[in-house]
Amino acid sequence: MGPSNGLTRFTVWVSVLTVTVLFGWGAWQRRWIADDGLIVLRTVRNLLAGNGPVFNKGERVEANTSTLWTYLTYLGGWAGGGMRLEYVALTLSLVLSLIGVALAILGTARLYAPVLAGRAAVMVPAGMLVYIAIPPARDFATSGLENGLVLAYLGGLWLMMVIWAQAVRMPVTLDRRGGPHQPVDPKIVHAAKKDQKDVLSRRFTVGLAFLAGLSVLIRPELALIGGGFLVMMLIAARGFMSRVWIVVAGGALPVLYQIFRMGYYGLLVPSTAIAKDASGSKWGQGFVYLQNMNSPYLIWIPALLLSALGVAAYQARRGQWWVRQVAAPGYGWLARLVQNPTAVVIFMLASGFIQGVYWIRQGGDFMHARVLLTPVFCMLLPIAVVPLVAPDSAAFTPKKARLLTAATIGLFAGIAGWSAWVANSPGMGGDGTKVTYSGIVDERRFYAQATGVAHPLTAADYLNYPRMRAVLVAIDNTPDGALLLPSGNYDQWDVAPAIPPPPPIPPGYRGPHAVLFTNLGMLGMNLGLDVRIVDQIGLANPLAAHTARITDGRIGHDKNLFPDWMIADGPWLKKYPYIPRYIDQDWVAEAVEALKCPQTDAMLSAVRKPLSPRLFVSNLLHSYEFTTYRIDRVPRFELARCGLPMPKLDTPQYTGLPATGP
């Protein structure tokens, strides 16, 4: 039952149009594809090539956090035919972002409909104006990451939650404080009965439960929101079979995918969660991250203004008519407690707050403001739009009515003014493109500066990034195969040659290639799928992912596996003079032995051996063990941990005694 007054409906749609146009225009002005967005597209390329949902062919690693975003982009790439995957991701990101803010406004407008009782009100997009004004919100609307999908999901879930909460409460009379009661407009009663019939239908219940269950497949931490709402639905449901349908609809797909993940990848969570130790705690860094977002934009100002605007709008309702509602028959007190508009508002506010606390505990992110955008969006949903109504003359003196009207208009003008200022803010300023002690950068500006392209959208744009063109030359110059290691010279790569095959070497033989680098996305999209790409922080490297987190490492990059392991873990020559001199060949020899550790071998075999039904079941049973397994970064310490003997080393060991001999 949406707003029934013509002016109110008109201003709702004006708000939707205004916000989507401004957001779309602002996002397009800052359009780009992040390196992390290109990581997703590497997996999509492998899916389209028939290699499965992997980052490197022949190694089952889930390098993307958002499962649904990966497969949505895959479907877009498949349907788009020859369309570049970068443009597919760009289009999906922007369209879903705009859908998200539009659904948020429609959901909140519906929330206020019973309060307005068909009276005229001007609906102003206070909360959504604040969100779209924050520069990172516009940055990540086109980043190729799942932010747009998150907005669309939360906006859609919010709208359906409001419908669900209102449908069981039937309008009785129009009430007025200190005044008489009047019958409700029959149109309002008819609309409410229709909503109740629709919501109580099995189709609506199954659809809403299914939508709530998708949360964990969009972002693992969103399970708090989707799972929490499923609990509310179970409490409010009437009858055993209704609860069965809710459980099946909400849990079937997530459970099936979790079984697939455990058997296919051998893990309980995506590899990114292992690499970043999502269960870890870095409170100090988290508060640095919070300050990094608040400082340039003074987020506390709109928070105060929105709170004051809400109070002023509530005061203006004094003396106005409102719809008195009662719960439909058959609902117990507990069901009435959770299935009502106040409950869903509190739930969404609490969810946003808890999400924010989680990310602060985790330490935030290395991308400026990115992970706090979702908590902010959640907490702005109940005030995405705010109704402004003229104070009633029966409840206010003319002077007080004028003051309240002026205060309301002034507060919204203050929000609009702050939004205009922040929308043109330089953000982090000069520090935005530097990796300072905080480890946080303005990712869009960083890559725009590093590539010399104002809007880096395609993998080709990232060829201007240091070392990128050189890697193509290095691969062409090593037809016999090699592991490429980043050199101190940005125009070259160091090489560890591949072990040559036994003679005779067949004509046209081309050896294996692998590249060690942090920026997986730009490499993954500029190199062929036959080139293995590994990183030292573990996003796509199962060995690095299972090292321990470095306490003072850069957030999001706080694992660092030595390159000696990369040489040990592959078909590369492992001694001087074939390997660079800064690599310790003894460490390589020790790493070769350390890889024989039974637990490490089992963990790697789980993702590298050809998948069979037996291996799938084995991975399923050992997924918890593999998820919690950690190795030591130092090969010698890893040998000691596993109880393995030291290998025979070719380099004489330093003893502190003078050398002897003839």
Q: Give the burial class of 607: count Cβ atoms within 10 A of its Cβ; 0-12 exposed, 13-18 middle, 19 or more buried.
A: buried
CB 496 within 8 A of CB 482: yes
Buried b (16+ CB within 10 A) or exposed e, 532-567: bbbbbbbbbbbbbbbbebeeeebbbbbbbbbbbbbb
662 confidence band (pLDDT: 50, 70, 90):
very low
Residue 387 confidence (pLDDT): 84
Whether the per-residue pLDDT at 234 is higher than 60: the answer is: yes
Among all chains, which residue has been given the structure tokens 């941990």?
641
Q: What is the mean pLDDT of the chain?
A: 88
**In the predicted model, what is the mean pLDDT of residues 422-442?**
87
Is pLDDT larger for residue 36 or for residue 313? 36
Angle between helix axes 373-380 and 126-133 (nearest 10 degrees) is 170
Kindly report, residue by residue over 274-306, the tens digit of the pLDDT: 988 766 788 999 999 999 999 999 999 999 999
Kindly report, residue by residue over 60-118, the tens digit of the pLDDT: 999 999 999 999 999 999 998 889 999 999 999 999 999 999 999 999 999 888 777 66
Residue 322 confidence (pLDDT): 45
Residue 337 confidence (pLDDT): 85
178 confidence band (pLDDT: 50, 70, 90):
very low
Kindly report, residue by residue over 219-231, the tens digit of the pLDDT: 999 999 999 999 9
Q: How many separate helices (H) and strands (E) can be counted in the chain?
A: 28, 9
Residue 319 confidence (pLDDT): 45
CB 182 within 8 A of CB 173: yes
Buried b (16+ CB within 10 A) or exposed e, 102-125: bbbbbbbbbbbbbbbbbbebbbbb
Q: Which of 201-205, 303-307, 493-497, 639-643 has the lowest mean pLDDT?
A: 201-205
Kindly report, residue by residue over 145-168, the tens digit of the pLDDT: 999 999 999 999 999 999 998 876
Instruction: For 603-623, give the DSSP string.
Output: HHHHHHSPP-HHHHHHHHHHH
Whether the per-residue pLDDT at 324 is higher than 70: the answer is: no
Helix%, strand%, coil% for the chain, nearest 5: 60, 5, 35
Residue 333 confidence (pLDDT): 72
Q: Of 619, 605, 542, whose CA–CA distance to 263 is shortest?
A: 619
**In the predicted model, what is the mean pLDDT of residues 505-519?**
90
Residue 196 confidence (pLDDT): 58
Q: Which of 131-145, 252-266, 285-299, 327-341 has the lowest mean pLDDT?
A: 327-341
For residues 632 and 81, give the distance between their C-alpha atoms in angstroms, rounded to a whole number.
45
Residue 372 confidence (pLDDT): 96
> Residue 322: beta bridge partners?
175
**In the predicted model, what is the mean pLDDT of residues 338-358?**
93
Q: Which of 7-16, 136-145, 388-397, 532-541 has the lowest mean pLDDT?
A: 388-397
Residue 488 confidence (pLDDT): 86
Residue 317 confidence (pLDDT): 53
For residues 625 and 358, give the distance between their C-alpha atoms in angstroms, rounded to a whole number.
25
